[in-house]
Structure 1
């Protein structure tokens, strides 16, 4: 995110004492603004109360009250703003198209498993801004969303039923799979990946052992061959 400039009013929002943006700004009777701490420290160290900008001297020390309106204006001008969204491009043959574009379609940047649909950058924005959409499950663009939906309920497959060894949706979990042993699909996927990793490690270890045995067998055969030739030459 980039910080917005101070609305083109940097000089008006700068304290003449610290030469930085006003903090807890106070406005004195002559109309000029200073940081509360800067002006308090300055007047505490001086024998007279005067404005450092117009040099006006006050016979009695003015009461310093925080300028709430000015403080809010500075806050709004300093508020970070979102960077401009990246330029969109039309979907090519290998891209996933946005389901909500009319006419020539933009390239989808996310697919929603909850909706289910694919969205370009513009049509995806409500998923980041609307409260009811923020909890939807977004994934990388996927042209095969139907394969990730329950055929019966048309809901996203989020649960793995260990009893039936199948992927199911939440609706299935409370109906025909009620009472079965179930886990989240992501947990089952991680477990399967660990098992696959262990299997591959065992296979690799077995291949290495076989390779080692084969090399040893070749070495022994080569020694026997050399030994046999030596005896023939001796005879």
Structure 2
């Protein structure tokens, strides 16, 4: 009974960096646990020491000690039915990869226009749990996030300048577009979609009118042809 309950909690014993079962687990002050090697490598490659899951930042690099109790629990789980995440969640060709997975990448479920990064289900959790991230703008996975960055300031494009007919970031608003007519990018996108819809409807109407005119012309020509053949037959008969 106890083993079955532990098996149902196997996700709790998955490292959010490598997305595999914790190996030599260490627990940091914010309460999250990782593989010793994963966390060490993560910090070695980062400019600051922060939790990969909740982004809590440490002023000094904490000393890492293996969580003995957690390690024993994981060993017990491995003797039961603990298995790695299902392979169908890995990013196959054509899918957007998670930017924070190490090794084999998992499929991204959302892209963040604020962070300009894509996340799998596990790495996305801080956006739902942390106050600092929950107001970020999440969209369906997008492989072209770099195209949504301002080339000059490397900030997300959020504003449309009607004066210059261009998409700009908030830094552009301050530095080069003073007194210009501007709207939110989403507002402009909706307006453009309405205009496009109206244009397509007008084109469709014109095509239908031309098709109708063409059919009438063909019918008239057929009638004239039949009428001409009738007159020709009548003339030949009289002759």
> Deviation string for 1:41-82 (max 9, x for gaps)?
xxxxxxxxxxxxxxxxxxxxxxxxxxxxxxxxxxxxxxxxxx
Instruction: Kindly indicate which of the two structures has a greater share of residues assigned to helix.
Output: 2
Residue 207 of structure 1 aligns to a residue whose secondary structure is helix
Cα separation, 1, equivalents of 2:116 and 2:197? 32
- State yes or no: 1:162 paired with 2:157: no
Computing the radius of gyration from Cα coordinates, the structure with the larger value is: 1
- The match for 1:143 is 143
Which segments of 5 or more consecutive residues in structure 1 lack a partner in the other structure? 1-85
What is the aligned residue count?
A: 150
Cα separation, 2, equivalents of 1:193 and 1:116? 24
Residue 232 of structure 1 aligns to a residue whose secondary structure is helix
Residue 132 of structure 1 aligns to a residue whose secondary structure is coil
Which segments of 5 or more consecutive residues in structure 2 lack a partner in the other structure? 1-84
- The match for 1:90 is 90
> Deviation string for 1:82-138 (max 9, x for gaps)?
xxxx96711111111111111111111111111111111111100011101011111
Q: How far does residue 170 in structure 1 lie from its aligned partner after superposition?
A: 1.1
Q: TM-score, normalised by structure 2?
A: 0.60
Cα separation, 2, equivalents of 1:125 and 1:157? 25
Cα separation, 1, equivalents of 2:125 and 2:134? 10
Deviant stretches of 4+, over 3 Å? none
Aligned CA RMSD, in angstroms, stands at 1.4
Residue 89 of structure 2 aligns to a residue whose secondary structure is coil
Q: How far does residue 209 in structure 1 lie from its aligned partner after superposition?
A: 1.0
- Matched ranges for 1:1-235 at <5 A: 89-235=89-235
> Deviation string for 1:13-62 (max 9, x for gaps)?
xxxxxxxxxxxxxxxxxxxxxxxxxxxxxxxxxxxxxxxxxxxxxxxxxx
Q: TM-score, normalised by structure 1?
A: 0.61
Cα separation, 2, equivalents of 1:114 and 1:183? 18
